[in-house]
Chain A
Amino acid sequence: MTRSPILIGFYTMVRKDFRRIVRIWSQTLLPPAITMALYFAIFGTFIGSQVDAIHGFPYIQFIVPGLIMMSVITSSYMNTVSTFYFAKWIRTIDEILVSPMPSWVVIAGFVSGGLIRAFLVGLIVIGVSLFFTHLTLFSVGVIFAAAFLTALLFSLLGLINAIFAKSFDAINIVPTFVLTPLTYLGGVFYSIDQLPPLFQTVSLFNPILYMVNAFRYGFLGISDVPLSLAFEVMGGLTLLAFIVTIILFKRGAGLKQ
């Protein structure tokens, strides 16, 4: 394939997934909007009004960036894990595997679907949050870069999960037992400065802490971890996930018999 056919193949994959995301909006876009509206109302408004300001910001303003990031993580992961596993399950993945598209294009196609859904959901959740508080923008570039790297990383991780998954249960285990606890403990609802020293140290091993804090820095200009370290962690993990995905695709792991 020369460059142009590669782009056509990539565009076909992205277009197909975008149309699917929009077609089933009630499953892909609506649930995070409702869930986050409840978080903003209960944790932000009802409980948050009785919580002290954190780093000088009202509690609801402090948690909004973390909750947006939480929806970005969940949406990007769930999009690739479900799309790819479903394609494996009904064997539509064969349409792509028999085609002359190189592995990296196929990966890029699936990951782009995750990015699109994550950004659509992110924008919707930002819109919902405006009903509950006002948002300050400290650095749009940091917001975009943090959201992009996080969505990219979790799209790749979703793909890896789907490659190994042999049942629908297997695609729900990681989000339920790994992703949700790590997100909740990743500084979405609190600053790690408020934790005892031991738990502060333990929290530093949670990669989601760096993503949430980088994203929050973009809105509020505050972070529990150095911004450069946060981007190094995100960039390093994304690169690692990409290399692992490429190797798995080349080997045909979970795809070819």
Chain B
Amino acid sequence: MEKTDAALKVENLRKVYAKDGKKAGTEALKGVSLTIRSGEFFALLGPNGAGKSTIIGILSGLVTKTEGLAEVNGLSIDTYPEKAKSFIGLVPQEFNFDIFEKVINIVLNQAGYYGIPRAEALPRAEKVLKDLGLWEKKDSTAQALSGGMKRRLMIARALVHEPAILLLDEPTAGVDVELRRGMWDFLRELNESGTTIVLTTHYLEEAEMLASRVAIINKGQIIEEGSVKELLTKLNFVTLLLDTTEPVKDATMHLLRELKLERIDETTLKLTLKPGETVNDAIRKIAATGIQIANVRNSGSRLEEVFVNLIEKDT
């Protein structure tokens, strides 16, 4: 066994779904290669059906690969499947626990499946449930939990065996903003304590806030990979939203045709600045037409703009 600092490594990974499945005959992965280093917080971004969950599924043992290599902490999932799985904690996209089971038992059973004796599992379960604010619900059945609590229970269950690598497949889908931010703080602390985290998400803001490195996958291929900073430098424009005090008329828009300006609604304009253009110049030109600007704001996540750009190019 070769020593490696790669927590996860896939090379030329291919997956073609069998013809009788839901994704019948689809080539979900077309030779994906990716290395995630120990201790990293890595985000895998991509539109629906891009292949994110398939990669997570192969690494965690839920999906069989068609071709290629997959390693966990230097161990091939083909040669050492059990050992490789012991390093991983999985938080899947869909709720997959027994809703009639008590919260504490769901966590304790998972510890048991990983070979942790009950005497050791009990304090671990208490810790993860307390960390995730679920300890008071330990004797409730899972069906009695709210959606956000169920999400946190999935994380608690995945952490009870103290995995070196945590795979999260869209963990904050459907979670309210406050709870999502709480989960971000928790995941950030977990990563700082040494756990490698791989996150797939639709919330690009989430990836921008948490991840140190990002890969963008589309149609089963990695189309971009690098640190968040590196990806953001590829963004060669900035988009701002301007709120005006009065509705902007067509004639005024015509006067401002030299700017890349788009009217979103009567009192909102979208301004796109290319390299070399400044906000001061643009606002000065707009103000010269008599438009009063009440507010200037970002159009959204900057990473989202990189993402949309790349996906559009790839389509």
Contacts and interface: CB of A to CB of B under 8 A. Distances in A.
Interface of A: 1-2, 4-6, 8-9, 11-13, 15-16, 90-92, 94-102, 252, 256-257
Contacts of B113: 9, 12-13, 95-96, 99, 101
Given A94-B96, A98-B85, A98-B88, A257 B115 contact: no
Interface residues of B, number: 33
Contacts of A91: 92, 94, 96
B62 A256 contact: yes
Contacts of B109: 12, 16, 95
A5 B60 contact: no
A1 B60 CA distance: 16
B62 A94 contact: yes
A98 B61 contact: yes
A1 B86 contact: yes
A102 B105 CA distance: 22
Interface string B62-94: 111000000000000000001101101010101
A252 B110 contact: no
Interface of chain B: mostly helix, strand, loop or mixed: loop
Interface of B: 17-18, 21, 23, 57, 60-64, 82-83, 85-86, 88, 90, 92, 94, 96-99, 105, 109-110, 112-118, 157
Contacts of B17: 257
B82 to A, nearest CB: 4
Contacts, number: 82
Contacts of A92: 96-98
B125 to A, nearest CB: 13
A180 to B, nearest CB: 29
A100 B82 contact: yes
Contact of B64 (A11, A94, A99, A252): A252
B63 A99 contact: no
A100 B86 contact: yes
Given A8-B116, A257-B21, A101 B82 contact: yes
A99 B62 contact: no
Contacts of B110: 95, 99
Contacts of A11: 112
B62 A97 contact: yes
Contacts of B83: 100
A1 B82 contact: yes
23 contacts: A5-B114, A5-B116, A8-B112, A8-B115, A8-B116, A9-B113, A9-B114, A11-B112, A12-B109, A13-B113, A16-B109, A90-B96, A91-B94, A94-B62, A94-B92, A95-B113, A97-B62, A98-B61, A98-B85, A98-B90, A100-B114, A100-B115, A257-B23
A6 B113 CA distance: 8
Contacts of A16: 105, 109
A256 B82 contact: no
A256 B54 CA distance: 11
Contact of A95 (B82, B86, B97): B97
A203 B115 CA distance: 47
A91 to B, nearest CB: 4
Contacts of B57: 257
Nearest to B105: A16
Nearest to B97: A92
Contacts of B90: 94, 98
A141 B145 CA distance: 49
Contacts of B88: 98
A256 B115 contact: no
Contacts of A100: 82-83, 85-86, 114-115
Please indicate which of the listed interface residues B60, B61, B88 has the most CB atoms of chain A within 10 Å of its own CB.
B61
A203 to B, nearest CB: 37
Contacts of B99: 90
Nearest to A24: B100
A184 to B, nearest CB: 34
B119 to A, nearest CB: 11
Nearest to A2: B115
A97 B61 contact: yes
A31 to B, nearest CB: 20
Nearest to A87: B98
B15 to A, nearest CB: 9
Contacts of A1: 82, 86, 115
